[in-house]
Amino acid sequence: MNKKALLIPLSIVTGSAALAAGAAVAAGEVFYNFALKKKKKRKALGQLAKNQTSDQPLQAQGDMRLEWVDEVNAKDVTVSSFDGLTLHAFLAENPGHTDKFAIILHGYTCHAREMGFYGEKFFEKGFSVLLPSARCHDESEGEFIDMGWYQRLDILDWIRMINQKYNDPQIVLMGVSMGGAAVMMASGENLPPNVVCAIEDCGFSSIKEQFDHTLKNMMQIPPQPLMSCANFVTHIKTGIDINKDGYSTKCLKNCRIPMLFIHGTADKYVPFWMLDKNYNAHPGPKQKYIVVGAPHASSAWHGGQEYWDKVFAFVESFIS
């Protein structure tokens, strides 16, 4: 075959491959920028707008008690993460009650202030409360949202800070949505014995399954090949391999603390089927609480007093 004639189709193939690779990287960049790249700061949400209903997610719910951290004179405290970030939290000391703490984690693109509604409930039960801002949220440093994977290690830093300052009080972990996933992921780590139990509310089973669900069911985009492109870019930028890292279910298999799993049946964001997947991965002891009709991150409002009765009946069975 003529050498020149051979080079022409080879150059076409090479050029096509380069274009395809470039398109794949571009698609991955778009996904990363949309889903994980640091967002502009937004104000915390708290009141129900006129055109919103209690069937909408947490950000659309009624009074979220944003002002609670101010009412109890919560302090701004910080820790340094394993990778050198300064992370912030609201610390609300309950006078005479620093022997038990609740660490409560917020969701994706939310604010620590927005967990005031939850913090107040624990405070009323005699807990001191820590409301951390996840990395890359609010005042905490970070250039990308880690979907709870690195936050699981940040939770360990917050636990160490509390133990050093308050002489190993009993600690309860609670998280909602991404915060719930972070709690499940942290539960697989070597937690100190004073962490007595955990509550996860509508946390996802894995980063990959959450992204697949969001693309397919909420954006009507086939997960593949976009997720492969996204993982290539995300792995380079964050060190997170979506195909291997960020599986709540894998972490739960190593969990040694009791856990309460909560989910609303009308959750469209983190699908209801993830509840059983998470629950079944935990070796026990464990409990499950299903809130019929509750959309994403809204079970506390939908369930009302029953929600808190379930939560504190569970917690108090492990607090001495």
Residue given tokens 């506390």 in the structure block: 300
Better-predicted residue by pLDDT, 286 or 40:
286
What distance in Å separates the CA atoms of residue 154 and residue 175, rounded to the nearest whole number?
13
- Work out the number of other CB atoms within 10 angstroms of the CB of residue 86: 13
Report the pLDDT value the prediction gives residue 106, as an integer from 0 to 100. Answer: 97
pTM: 0.88
Q: What average pLDDT is seen over the chain?
A: 88
- Reply yes or no on whether the pLDDT at 52 is more than 50: no
Helices (H), 214-298: 223-238, 248-252, 273-281
- Which class would CATH give 45-206+246-316? alpha beta
H helices then E strands: how many in the chain?
A: 11, 8
- Reply yes or no on whether the pLDDT at 91 is more than 90: yes
Nearest to 234 by CA among 19, 22, 21, 30: 30
- Work out the number of other CB atoms within 10 angstroms of the CB of residue 88: 20
- Reply yes or no on whether the pLDDT at 307 is more than 70: yes
Report the pLDDT value the prediction gives residue 59, as an integer from 0 to 100. Answer: 44
Report the pLDDT value the prediction gives residue 41, as an integer from 0 to 100. Answer: 60
Report the pLDDT value the prediction gives residue 44, as an integer from 0 to 100. Answer: 53
| CB 98 within 8 Å of CB 139 | no
Q: What is the CA radius of gyration of the chain?
A: 22
What distance in Å separates the CA atoms of residue 188 and residue 184, rounded to the nearest whole number?
7
Report the pLDDT value the prediction gives residue 45, as an integer from 0 to 100. Answer: 53
When pLDDT is averaged across residues 313-317 and rounded to a whole number, the result is 98
Q: Is 210 exposed, middle or buried (0-12, 13-18, 19+ CB in 10 A)?
A: buried
According to the 3-state scheme, what is the secondary structure of 158-182?
Answer: HHHHHHHHHCCCEEEEEEECHHHHH
Report the pLDDT value the prediction gives residue 225, as an integer from 0 to 100. Answer: 86
Give 49's Cβ-side CA count (13 Å radius). 8
Report the pLDDT value the prediction gives residue 1, as an integer from 0 to 100. Answer: 47
pLDDT digits 0-9 by tens, 74-87:
999 999 999 999 99
Better-predicted residue by pLDDT, 249 or 97:
249
